[in-house]
Structure 1
Amino acid sequence: MRITAVGDIVLQLDDHDERFVPSAPVFRSSDVAIGQIEVPHTTETDVVGITVPSPPADPDALGAMARAGFTVGTVAGNHSYDLGTRGVIDTLRNAGRFGIQTTGTGATITDAMKPAITGTHDRSVGVLSFNCVGPRESWATSKKAGSAYVKVLTHYDLDDLNPGNPPQVYTFCDRKSLDQMTAAVSAARDTVDVVVIALHKGYGHTPARIEDYEYDVAHAAIDAGADLVVAHHSHIMRGIEMYKGRAIFHGLGNFVTVTTALTPDPESDSEELKAWAKRREELYGFSPDPNVRGYPFHPESRNTAIAVLDIDEAGKPSFGFIPCWIDDYARPVPLDHGSDGDRVAEYISGITRTAGLDTRFSWDRDVVRVE
């Protein structure tokens, strides 16, 4: 069995099918293919989100994701409730129209925490999805639609009391919500053969930075029975960790992510978008490459990957990734062993080492193995 997974998918421009052309053969040949549906696919336009909200994406755009071979969509994330209850429910319904199973959001927290269950070759696979970055308005409750979540707390400590010095930042998981997540993972472990957990987590647009809580929540998922942990939200690749013989992709970055939401039109009167564009440069130190239409992200984020979990006949797992480069048309292009594939693999190896992780990488046919 081969399970593949990618990071954020945003389909808010045109030519949706064309964006997947280079990568579709990988997913069509997978037994299970998982992608993060980052924004609501709905005709609703009444914005609820309090941060920079996502505009609605065309419901029919999810058909391109399905035709590319994706079978599971993880949906928990910071934009899941941007367009309210209708945005949540419409996204699930529209994914289902095209045969994509979903997990991570629902009409209630109970619904949001139900795994998507699929599989083949006499092995079942359960996929769960959790939002670790807020906003809390996006969280589901017993009476409100939204996402499954792990609440993360932030503590600021001024080690040097000189006025104006930056504080040391510590992050940690709220125990109650972390226990809620691990209970869901454990329950899935009891009913399926393979468990995959998708976490929406991490500091944005910055490679090689992994916060304390990210290790805690990922390790807790594996301790509870997960075979593979994949993450997204940061819109840039992060390091890969091996923990108790299981792989943690701390950030799979972008996949097909085309949008105008983060790039203000010069003629636009949107003060929020203009302020965000200025703040993005101040916070993260980059401006998007103007040559890649609809791709308002860090130039380094064009290095990306497809996570791979292979399971042999005896049930033994092996982990790896297929390096990809996002081309000038914002299409992720899988790369073979050779100059381009080696370059992206070395980038991922480099940010892994910078993060302090001792993962080893080696090519095995079409996959860079991690161990």
Structure 2
Amino acid sequence: MIDSRTDAARLMFVGDLILGADDVRSHFGDTATVLRNADVAVGHVEWPHTRRGQVSSADLPAPAAPPGNLAAVRDAGFAVATLAGNHIFDQGQNGVEDTVDTLRAEGLATTGAGLSISTAREPAIVEHAGVRLGFLSYNAVGPRESWATTSKGGAAYVRIHAHYDIEMASPGSPPTEYTALDAETLSAMCTDIRELKERVDVVSVSLHKGLVFERARLAQYEQPLAYAAIDAGADVIIGHHAHILRGVETYKSRPIFHGVNHFVTAYPAAANPHSAASGARTRPTRSPILSLVTPDHEVENFPFSRDARQTMIAFIDADERGVLRAGFFPCWIDEHGHTTRAHGRRGEQIVQYVRDITAEAGLVADIQWDGMRAVFSTR
């Protein structure tokens, strides 16, 4: 047992699962011992897994990952896969179809992607010990090609409007960024949540959102998006996409994890955008992402910063009344790219990092560390 708890269902959540390497199982390190202790474990599958893919995005498209690698998600203890992300349509309609079909064949429930917008918006529903648990997933970062429509596969999404303005008398200076929620797609998300809440006891909403690689800061749309989901009936919000941890808070006694970071980064060498072998991956002409991060070369085939080695397994305990407690198990990506439990001093450092970025973002959470897990109040 990881720790004692009530008879409530324990849900665990992790961020992006990048599963392109041949030895993908080893990248879960020792974390499966934690994840298998969950009553329901949820992970975000980042790349399309297909042998029939065709590059369908110009914004740093993900390669077609082997469908067989998804068995590692099942073996690590996951029961639900969220799919609404910026890369799900990178290998076209076949990539969406094969990813969903393979995960379901492995026994996982899926949500967030499908062959049309109606199927992408369908929830995953799991029951444990009489508690009905519902899951939804939305992409809030684009690109447009990733969005499902009535006639095209892809992700469920909330569109974000962006405006950039020069605030000083100095043309060419960095602009101020303004972002806002699109009313129509926000309303669609809230409708999905309200309808699901009528069918289940606990609703979890996963949001692919945030400013890539930036420490602490939330874009203007992020908190309103999370709050709108809770106002509609969500019991917990799980954010991912930024490839770095974000702070935590509660709203109306519901926990919000603004960014749980990636969890597994099993890149094949040819797909690492910083690798000399990356010519096999279509490179963008307009994406500035590669200039935003200095990779930590202490880690094998890892295109992210040292701070991005800090990650977590978020958890909630919930029953038919809702969320009873929330917290996380700190984790660390080692020099081999394997995700491991963070104990002792390392775990304490990651918990303090989350405290620091929570405060820097203007969020409020009393995060307590007991040497094994961090918890914060939802009351």
Q: TM-score, normalised by structure 2?
A: 0.92
Closer/same/farther in 2, CA of residues 205 and 106 from structure 1, 3 Å limit: same
Query: 1:237 aligned to 2:264?
Result: no
Query: 1:121 aligned to 2:129?
Result: yes
Deviation at 1:136, TM superposition (A): 0.9
Pairing of 1:129-148 with structure 2 (within 5 A): 129-148=137-156
Separation in 1, partners of 2:112, 2:316? 21
Query: 1:328 aligned to 2:335?
Result: yes
Match 2:324 to one of 317, 322, 325: 317
Deviation at 1:89, TM superposition (A): 0.5
Query: 1:288 aligned to 2:295?
Result: yes
When the two chains are superposed, the root-mean-square deviation of aligned CA atoms in Å is 1.9
Q: Is the CA contact 1:308–1:321 (under 8 Å) kept in the aligned structure 2? A: yes
Closer/same/farther in 2, CA of residues 91 and 274 from structure 1, 3 Å limit: closer
Closer/same/farther in 2, CA of residues 192 and 365 from structure 1, 3 Å limit: farther
What secondary structure is seen at the aligned counterpart in 2 of 1:254? Answer: coil
Separation in 2, partners of 1:251, 1:222? 16
Structure 2 match to 1:15: 23
Structure 1 match to 2:179: 171
Closer/same/farther in 2, CA of residues 143 and 326 from structure 1, 3 Å limit: same
Separation in 1, partners of 2:254, 2:31? 25
Structure 2 match to 1:297: 304
Query: 1:195 aligned to 2:203?
Result: yes
Separation in 2, partners of 1:321, 1:111? 31
Q: TM-score, normalised by structure 1?
A: 0.94
Instruction: State the Cα deviation string for residues 275-296 of structure 1 (Å, max 9, x = none).
Output: 799x4463x2x32122322221
Query: 1:358 aligned to 2:347?
Result: no
Separation in 1, partners of 2:263, 2:129? 28
Deviation at 1:335, TM superposition (A): 2.5
What number of residue pairs does the alignment pair up?
367
Deviation at 1:314, TM superposition (A): 6.4
What secondary structure is seen at the aligned counterpart in 2 of 1:196? Answer: strand
Deviation at 1:73, TM superposition (A): 0.3
Give the residue type in structure 2 aligned to 1:140.
Answer: A
Q: Is the CA contact 1:171–1:212 (under 8 Å) kept in the aligned structure 2? A: yes
Deviation at 1:166, TM superposition (A): 2.0
Separation in 2, partners of 1:102, 1:367? 28
Pairing of 1:1-371 with structure 2 (within 5 A): 1-259=9-267, 260=269, 261-266=271-276, 269=279, 273=283, 279-280=288-289, 282=291, 284=292, 286-311=293-318, 316-336=323-343, 338-364=344-370, 366-371=372-377
Q: Is the CA contact 1:32–1:119 (under 8 Å) kept in the aligned structure 2? A: no
Which blocks of at least 5 consecutive residues in structure 1 are unaligned? none
Q: Is the CA contact 2:53–2:92 (under 8 Å) kept in the aligned structure 1? A: no
Deviates more, 1:110-119 or 1:163-172: 163-172
Q: Is the CA contact 2:24–2:266 (under 8 Å) kept in the aligned structure 1? A: no
Closer/same/farther in 2, CA of residues 276 and 292 from structure 1, 3 Å limit: farther
Instruction: State the Cα deviation string for residues 188-243 of structure 1 (Å, max 9, x = none).
Output: 11100110000001111112010111111111011111111001111111111211
Give the residue type in structure 2 aligned to 1:344.
Answer: I
Q: Identity of aligned pairs, percent?
A: 41
Q: Is the CA contact 2:55–2:92 (under 8 Å) kept in the aligned structure 1? A: yes
Give the residue type in structure 1 aligned to 2:276.
Answer: P
What secondary structure is seen at the aligned counterpart in 1 of 2:263? Answer: strand
What secondary structure is seen at the aligned counterpart in 2 of 1:212? Answer: coil
Separation in 2, partners of 1:20, 1:53? 24
Deviation at 1:100, TM superposition (A): 1.1
Deviation at 1:140, TM superposition (A): 0.8
Separation in 2, partners of 1:167, 1:276? 18
Give the residue type in structure 1 aligned to 2:85.
Answer: G
Closer/same/farther in 2, CA of residues 367 and 276 from structure 1, 3 Å limit: farther
Give the residue type in structure 2 aligned to 1:290.
Answer: H
Q: Is the CA contact 1:56–1:83 (under 8 Å) kept in the aligned structure 2? A: yes
Closer/same/farther in 2, CA of residues 351 and 315 from structure 1, 3 Å limit: closer
Deviates more, 1:327-336 or 1:141-150: 327-336
Give the residue type in structure 1 aligned to 2:272.
Answer: L
Separation in 2, partners of 1:200, 1:108? 19
Deviates more, 1:82-91 or 1:164-173: 164-173
Q: Is the CA contact 1:105–1:145 (under 8 Å) kept in the aligned structure 2? A: yes
Separation in 1, partners of 2:112, 2:60? 21
Deviation at 1:178, TM superposition (A): 0.2
